[in-house]
Structure 1
Amino acid sequence: MVSASDNMAVETAMAQENTQQHFLTDAAYRQRVEEDFQKRKAIIGGNFCNVAKLSATQAELEALQFLYAYMPLADITDHTVEYYLANVRASNKARQQMAWGKNVPELLFRHFVLPVRVNNEELDDARSVFYDELKGRIAGLSMRDAILEINHWCHEKVTYQPSDPRTSSPLATVRSAYGRCGEESTLLVAALRAMGIPARQVYTPRWAHTDDNHAWVEAWADGKWYFLGACEPEPVLDLGWFNAPASRALLMHTRVFGYYDGPEEVFLRTPCNTEINLIGNYGETANVDFTIVDENGVPVSGARVDFCIYNYAEYCPVVAKFTDAAGHTSLTAGKGDMMVWASKDGKYGFAKVAFATDKALRISLSHNVAVREQSEATDSFDIVPPPEKANVPFVSPEQRAENNRRFEYEDSLRHAYLATFYTHERAVDALKGKVVGASAEGLQRLATFLEKSSGNHQVILDFITKNAVSAEKTQRVTDLLATLSDKDLRDIRMAILDDSYAAGTQLSPRVENEMITRTFKAEFRSMFSDKEKRKFQKNPLELVKWIKKNIRMNPDKKSPMIAQTPMGAYDYKITDRRSRNILFVDMARSFDIEARVDPVTGKTQYKAEGKWADVNFEKVVKQVAPQGTLMLRYEKNAIVDDPKYFSHFTISRINANGTTSLLEYPEEGTTWGSTFKDGVSLDAGQYLLVTGMRLASGAVKSEARLFSVEEGKTTDLDLKIRTSPTDVSVIGSFNSEAKFQTLDGREVTFLSQTGRGYFITGLIGVGQEPTNHALKDIAKVAAEFDKWGRPLVLLFEDEAAAKKFNAKEFPGLPKNIIFGIDAGGAVRQEISENMKLSNKSLSPIFFISDTFNRVVFIKQGYTISLGEQMEQVIRTL
């Protein structure tokens, strides 16, 4: 342990050393930062990086200058320079006190330790909090062992739970004890950086072989980058449940803070960050050159080239590049297929590229947004993901056993913390006698909000009990809490709740997935006179005019648009497109004007005469978009009864500049039959309909159709879901006479339990993210499994795992489940050897076989929509 006197001595030495040294020792780079800093200062003005009242060394000032030269606009307008100076000093403290600090190169410290922001999370004081908690724990460890130990600490604090795309802050994630992969990896990066270890969040923006995406962490130790699954500790580095799927990925990337000149391929440079390509760390790659030409074959410079991965039935743009003067660009990716969408000035074109075979591709901007597309404009594509070639490091049985022991102990620590949260029953008891005027049903609803609040329960409980003092006020409390997401309930602050509760008719503080960290409704109401507010209410376009006149637009359009708080945009009088939309909605609601960002189209709107009118900051006139009707026809087949949005098809609007914007219909419940069968209203314009069927191999049978919607007219289209009658075939064998152990200790064969015919076997890992995903996916299609009527055999690794399994966490599983234990791992051993699985220890493994010992389907590890994939196989069988 380091004593207080030692700390003081170190800090004194640091101050003396920093006085004599530059933070940026390379003079040329220091000059670049100075120039970029002055450009930002000229644009933003105001109180930009005002250090006049600070007592800081030359090195600290240079570090601040580096941060302010490149930080997103929201970080400038919503946090003080004192906040960043405190983080600079915390970073330097870790650099001085950690044994490895002197060995971290300046380049890595600058870009992968110093920056506070990891993703789009709310910034907090995690750096100092985590340092104090971790410094003793990793004392005396090597750099690699410290990385592993910090991940064990993260697992004690947080476990996986899917949620909305907003990224909670590291401290909020710890307080809630839950996080999706983006939040878990943000937490781990923050913890590693707090200890002076270079770290970065790595994303595969979309998987190639299955739907969804994933994020994990790379950490640098002793001259090399290693990867690890956040909050999922393993005995060694470069190991996670995603080794195999990562080898099948098309792209991995990370956004590096600032102007970064490292060894990796650069996707894109923006005034804030450098986006780099990391796919070569995980699988085999190839590079393809692209030439973009106009309809006459002339190369197009400055064309935007979006590289798209088929995922969730969308050609999802994951990387954007721009062509040079000769119309060229290039990309390195995994050896699979991508869609490439090129556009400029309303002209666009698209094509499929096969990185396994193509060396160069030429794309013509042959389509024009201004020219009506015919419904016959259809192309079919067979999209193939890269092959699996996982590289899995060795883990001895002793290492695995010790890691499992620690894993279980860490689970117990976290479960003890979770036990302090409110169950529904405890929530009801806590509210009884403290809520006035609530019906029995109303009390249950308030208890549900309290139950969902996790570690934020005291805030929610206090808010309810101090305000629910009459029937009218209790209803207002309920209405306000109902506007919040589950994640909001876990991290919203009392000040925000109080601000919205005291507002007028528009209760919700949330517009989309922005951070809500500063109050604004009371402030806006006090800043404007009653006369001005009545003018805005009478005609919301007056508020649009006010914003356009008084709030400048940031000329930088390439950097990530992390939403400013409304007060941050107001204080600095500068904003970006996303933050301006949020600002309008929040100001309008503060003045009792109904306003929103439409969740499907993304358009900013206000209510006028009972209709939603569009906000256009360029033409400040009332606009109700002309609309037509889209009618989709579909003939049911043996594979898909009612195609699902995001599973089988999506629709994207083609924007005026030729890029695309996905229509974000709700994932749950949006199907052909529920939404499109009888026609749906769409704004007039051009659209792209994408359909696809994910095959058991991970490949996709896809179709792309361009079409137009005209005002007052109906566009009729056939919804075609391409299928493959030959995709399901015998791919291996599994002995149906193999034995497993029932939960009551009997040894039985599969045949004796399943009877003749096909059955499903799942080898599952309790409490692991891939297994949780799999079981929840299966629950979604339980009706089809029950209709099929064949058994689903779920086998735990051992009796201890069986006892830990809580079926209540997975409501709605199929009825015909047989639980058992794969005693000694015999079943896993056989299926792994027969199917030549590269990592037999990776869970879960699901396979479909029959009592003639034929395997027709197998998936291992993390697989989104596993239930739907098996449903398709069942239907084909």
Structure 2
Amino acid sequence: MRKFLVMFAITFLASWQTMLAANGHFITDAAYRTKVETAFKQKVNLVGKQFYDQKMLKQQKATADEQGALQFLYAYMPVADVTDYPTSFFLENVRTSFEARQQMAWGNKVPELLFRHFVLPVRINNENLDNSRMVFFKELKERVKGLSMKDAILEVNHWCHELVTYQPSDGRTSAPLSTIRSAYGRCGEQSTFTVAALRAIGIPARQVYTPRWAHTDDNHAWVEAWADGTWYFLGACEPEAVLNLAWFNAPASRAMLMHTKAFGDYNGPEEVMLRTSNYTEINLIDNYGSSARIDFEIVDAAGNPVDGAKVDFKIYNYAEFCTVVTKYTGADGATFLSAGKGDMMIWASKNGKYGFAKASFGKDKKVVVRMDHQVTVPGAEQKTILFRDSFDIVPPPEHANIPEVSAEARAKNLERFAYEDSIRHAYLATFYNKESALQALKDNGLAAGSEENTQKMVKYLVGSSGNHHVILTFLKNHKDRIDRAIKLLGTLSAKDLRDMQMDILEDNFNAKSDQLSPRVENEMIITPFKQFFEKEFAKQQVAFKNNPNLLVEWVKKNIRINPDLKALQIAQTPIGVYRSRLTDARSRKVFFVDVARSLGIEAQVDEVTKKTQYKNANGGEWIDVDFDNDVQKASAMGKFVMNYKDNGAVDDPKYYSHFTIHRINPDGSTSLLEYPEEGCTWSGTFKNGVDLDEGDYALVSGTRLANGGVLAEMQLFHVKQGATTQVDMNLRSSETEITVKGNFNSESKFILLPSNQEVSLLSQTGRGYFVTGMIGVGQEPTNHALKDIAKVAQVFEKWGRPIVILFEDEASAKKFRISEFPGLPKNIIFGIDKDGSCRKEMVENMKLQNKNLLPIFTISDTFNRVVFLSQGYTIGLGEQLESVIKRL
């Protein structure tokens, strides 16, 4: 049978290539065309011909250009896209792409290389694919008609801002149409949406991202678009008057890495960081800041070069050394990287051996990493502390390049910005609030039950945003079993409520299993599956439920793992896995849990460790699933106790703010233990001990300084089965952190709200230290700053000193919605910085490079001494202010 399939594929591909040769091809480079055809052949052989619908293409009379474009897409798209979407979907996208190229004035200006890699591809991030290209093309083609490419890019961004604004959320990227429905998106969703809109009208566009900032704890994504021979950048859904201007000009100049994933095998002018079977990752750091190259040599304990070592380049961020680039060495043990002129940790591993070293870009020319550590073999004797050292981490300096914008152009853009806000707010007004949600429940006979159930339904309707009709209809459909319906909705994430489809909800509700949750992690959920697996495994259900290990064995026997381990791991649907019998390690986890739950077996991917587990039917014990072993069992565990002594600035360190723990994997690489972001502290979680799997770990801790630098420390330790491991955590501090950095006149005047009186800072603050914040309403850096301050509101209220928040002007003050920032300290004084006088004085006295960059936060006293300054984008601002306050 296998021989027949291979022969069929060879015959099929030969006839395909003959047909294309006779009719032409949208790839004019013969050598590249041959490379694509080879990759296409390999993909068909890997996945199976049933996922490429040749009959449909014949019926739809696909042209040679369309077939060539499809061949290119299928050659490089991830397995999930091949198995989870029909060929007709991609044909429709290809046809719309060609239609845009023909109809838009710039269509013939776009080079083939850029059209192929930055217009034609459908996937941008890890989003569900949808019909946005077709919808957006129809919506935008007339709106940009007659505009230049640059003006069209600006206009598309204004359109995006009419529909979507920023709101943080989980790491799953919603599809562009879902983002519109909810009217909100984090930066990854805003940029995915904007790239999709630009590509829909034939403008090359790509999502650019810094995987982690070096100077503050966060990441960011934005858009680059090509016009008339040049790539320009823009903040997605944040329109400015000109291109190459955004709130992140300054932080981008301090970044260490900027990436984009070019679809397919891309050969452009940029530095290639990683080339895979799906994408080419390219380095764009030189578009934003100054970079330097370091050559790395990876050697073993004896000093010999290591071939095939995995080299993880790590930036300190969120209290971890986070991998932002992975490379592999050649036979000479060498690799290289160009990055911003700051510090990284380099971690090399292979076959259980590993080593690490700090690298300073701009200073070091060559760094040797010696793999002289060995992962402890389970059961072997090992000392508790394997390594301990401190590292001073320095981010790149700021060298922002800010384009000039006339006052007239800026005012016109702000006027449009406000109008676009009004359009979006009118749509937001159609969403439920608590009162209208309760009324909808009453109108539909859903509020007659318990008060607890009613409040839960109100919460779900309010949280569902533009998806409220789905959630309300689902509840109405199941009045007779409302408890089960509410329980199912209770398993959904906030984002799920905003974009979950009715067929998914109905499938889970009507399944026999009481394991209601449709979600395992942040995977795509686009196809119902529970009732499908009920039927497919009807004969084995009882046996599998009594002994879930039999399901593990079925998966091991029937589901192949993609041999290309570097392939893009977009989560495949469980139906796609089942039909193709091919997947990757991540999607196999999701598949196992989904099938298990469909059969009534309690299963999960553990949130902290990411281990696949099922619950033992007899003892109720969580059993770890290891697809490489014959026996499934609970892990050998030991207790880990962390000791900490108050350093005078932080009394109860927080996970992701002050420390993190990483498992050192059997191959020597590292994996973060992903404890909950909210509420995980030293005293609440680690002071009295937690159970950890036996093995080696890394404890990373650090103190972020106001200048963006970090005083970091790393300890490697071993947890032994049945034993208690105690580790002392140290948060380093700086003796020079609290110094006078400049001056700011406490007699400066502002307009006090709500009285509209002109007053001085001193008259409102009294003698002593106080905080001043000059904010840009609606700007992402300001939103982050205010939310960070709200997180430590009790600290400010206990301190008792005033916080003066100044708006840019009266219009900004009216636009500000305090309800969007619940929990702000009660000791805030709001005012207007009349004519920008306070900001002007701060900029001049503190010698700030950029007068327009907001927010600006200071701690100063009424003797005019500034002891803390933060300008622009800073995550963890509240904790930085807290640290300084405790030292005053």
TM-score interval, normalised by the smaller of the two chains: over 0.9
Letter in 2 for 1:272: N
Partner of 1:7 in structure 2? Answer: none
Pairwise CA distance, 1:18? 12
Residue 422 of structure 2 is aligned to residue 416 of structure 1: no
Partner of 2:48 in structure 1? Answer: 45
Partner of 2:524 in structure 1? Answer: 515
Question: Structure 2 vs 1, CA of residues 69 and 862 (structure 1 numbering), >3 Å: closer, same or farther?
Answer: same
Question: Structure 2 vs 1, CA of residues 21 and 101 (structure 1 numbering), >3 Å: closer, same or farther?
Answer: farther
Note the 1:473-484 alignment, pairs <5 A.
473-484=481-492
- State the distance in 2 between where 1:137 and 1:278 align: 31
> SS of the counterpart of 2:863?
coil
Partner of 2:598 in structure 1? Answer: 590
> SS of the counterpart of 2:590?
helix
Letter in 1 for 2:347: W
- State the distance in 1 between where 2:832 and 2:702 align: 37
Deviations 1:224-282, CA, capped at 9 Å, x for gaps? 00000000000000010000000000101011100001111111111100000001110
- TM (norm. structure 2) is 0.95
Question: Structure 2 vs 1, CA of residues 502 and 620 (structure 1 numbering), >3 Å: closer, same or farther?
Answer: farther
Letter in 1 for 2:810: E
Of 252, 260, 273 in structure 2, the residue corresponding to residue 254 of structure 1 is 260
- State the distance in 2 between where 1:594 and 1:19 align: 56
Partner of 2:174 in structure 1? Answer: 168
> SS of the counterpart of 2:50?
coil
Question: Structure 2 vs 1, CA of residues 852 and 456 (structure 1 numbering), >3 Å: closer, same or farther?
Answer: same
- State the distance in 1 between where 2:174 and 2:604 align: 22
> SS of the counterpart of 2:292?
strand
Unaligned runs of 5+ residues in structure 1 are 1-16
Residue 70 of structure 2 is aligned to residue 70 of structure 1: no
- State the distance in 1 between where 2:56 and 2:142 align: 34
Pairwise CA distance, 1:495? 0.5
Note the 1:348-359 alignment, pairs <5 A.
348-359=354-365
Note the 1:126-165 alignment, pairs <5 A.
126-165=132-171
> SS of the counterpart of 1:377?
strand
Say whether the 8 Å CA contact 1:211–1:311 is kept in structure 2: yes
Deviations 1:539-559, CA, capped at 9 Å, x for gaps? 111111111111111111112
> SS of the counterpart of 1:332?
strand
Partner of 1:639 in structure 2? Answer: 649
The alignment-based identity, stated in percent, is: 63
Letter in 2 for 1:442: N
Say whether the 8 Å CA contact 1:305–1:323 is kept in structure 2: yes
Say whether the 8 Å CA contact 2:441–2:447 is kept in structure 1: no
Residue 778 of structure 2 is aligned to residue 795 of structure 1: no
Of 28, 32, 39 in structure 2, the residue corresponding to residue 29 of structure 1 is 32
> SS of the counterpart of 1:151?
helix
- State the distance in 2 between where 1:778 and 1:270 align: 42
Say whether the 8 Å CA contact 1:630–1:680 is kept in structure 2: yes
Letter in 2 for 1:505: D
Residue 102 of structure 2 is aligned to residue 96 of structure 1: yes
> SS of the counterpart of 1:202?
strand
Say whether the 8 Å CA contact 1:696–1:728 is kept in structure 2: no
> SS of the counterpart of 1:403?
helix
Pairwise CA distance, 1:376? 5.2
Question: Structure 2 vs 1, CA of residues 246 and 436 (structure 1 numbering), >3 Å: closer, same or farther?
Answer: closer
Between stretches 186-195 and 745-754, larger displacement belongs to 745-754
Residue 120 of structure 2 is aligned to residue 114 of structure 1: yes
Partner of 2:471 in structure 1? Answer: 460
Pairwise CA distance, 1:823? 1.0
Pairwise CA distance, 1:21? 4.2
Pairwise CA distance, 1:57? 1.2
> SS of the counterpart of 1:110?
helix
Partner of 2:295 in structure 1? Answer: 289
- State the distance in 2 between where 1:376 and 1:549 align: 39
Between stretches 861-870 and 833-842, larger displacement belongs to 833-842
Say whether the 8 Å CA contact 1:207–1:213 is kept in structure 2: yes
Partner of 2:332 in structure 1? Answer: 326
Of 552, 568, 580 in structure 2, the residue corresponding to residue 560 of structure 1 is 568
Of 748, 752, 758 in structure 2, the residue corresponding to residue 742 of structure 1 is 752
Deviations 1:331-380, CA, capped at 9 Å, x for gaps? 00000000000001110001100112101000110000136354151011
> SS of the counterpart of 2:662?
strand
> SS of the counterpart of 1:235?
coil
Say whether the 8 Å CA contact 2:136–2:200 is kept in structure 1: yes
Of 274, 290, 293 in structure 2, the residue corresponding to residue 268 of structure 1 is 274
Letter in 1 for 2:89: Y
Say whether the 8 Å CA contact 1:796–1:822 is kept in structure 2: yes
- State the distance in 2 between where 1:489 and 1:355 align: 44
Of 527, 530, 543 in structure 1, the residue corresponding to residue 536 of structure 2 is 527
Letter in 2 for 1:598: D
Say whether the 8 Å CA contact 1:305–1:342 is kept in structure 2: yes
Say whether the 8 Å CA contact 1:437–1:474 is kept in structure 2: no
Letter in 2 for 1:667: E
Between stretches 614-623 and 18-27, larger displacement belongs to 18-27
Pairwise CA distance, 1:637? 2.4
Partner of 2:399 in structure 1? Answer: 389
Of 217, 220, 235 in structure 2, the residue corresponding to residue 229 of structure 1 is 235
Say whether the 8 Å CA contact 2:662–2:671 is kept in structure 1: yes
Letter in 2 for 1:527: E
Letter in 1 for 2:232: Y
Pairwise CA distance, 1:839? 2.2
Note the 1:655-804 alignment, pairs <5 A.
655-743=665-753, 744-804=755-815
- State the distance in 2 between where 1:356 and 1:222 align: 33
> SS of the counterpart of 1:52?
helix
Deviations 1:627-670, CA, capped at 9 Å, x for gaps? 00001111112100101000111000000111000000001000
> SS of the counterpart of 1:461?
helix
Partner of 1:603 in structure 2? Answer: 611
- State the distance in 1 between where 2:495 and 2:21 align: 42
Deviations 1:732-765, CA, capped at 9 Å, x for gaps? 1111111111122211111111111111111112
Pairwise CA distance, 1:468? 2.2
- State the distance in 1 between where 2:235 and 2:383 align: 46
- State the distance in 2 between where 1:564 and 1:592 align: 22
Unaligned runs of 5+ residues in structure 2 are 1-19
Say whether the 8 Å CA contact 2:858–2:866 is kept in structure 1: yes
Residue 348 of structure 2 is aligned to residue 339 of structure 1: no
- TM (norm. structure 1) is 0.97
Partner of 1:9 in structure 2? Answer: none
Deviations 1:302-326, CA, capped at 9 Å, x for gaps? 1010000000000000100111111
Say whether the 8 Å CA contact 1:541–1:620 is kept in structure 2: no
Partner of 1:441 in structure 2? Answer: 452
Say whether the 8 Å CA contact 1:283–1:334 is kept in structure 2: yes
Partner of 1:406 in structure 2? Answer: 416
- State the distance in 2 between where 1:730 and 1:719 align: 30
> SS of the counterpart of 2:128?
coil
RMSD: 1.2
> SS of the counterpart of 1:94?
helix
Pairwise CA distance, 1:144? 0.2
Between stretches 204-213 and 850-859, larger displacement belongs to 850-859
- State the distance in 2 between where 1:728 and 1:373 align: 39
Of 64, 79, 89 in structure 1, the residue corresponding to residue 85 of structure 2 is 79
Say whether the 8 Å CA contact 2:604–2:613 is kept in structure 1: yes
- State the distance in 2 between where 1:861 and 1:78 align: 42
Pairwise CA distance, 1:48? 3.5
Say whether the 8 Å CA contact 2:293–2:362 is kept in structure 1: no
Pairwise CA distance, 1:728? 2.1
Residue 323 of structure 2 is aligned to residue 317 of structure 1: yes
Letter in 2 for 1:610: G
Deviations 1:706-730, CA, capped at 9 Å, x for gaps? 0000000000110111111211211
Note the 1:815-826 alignment, pairs <5 A.
815-826=826-837
Between stretches 426-435 and 770-779, larger displacement belongs to 426-435
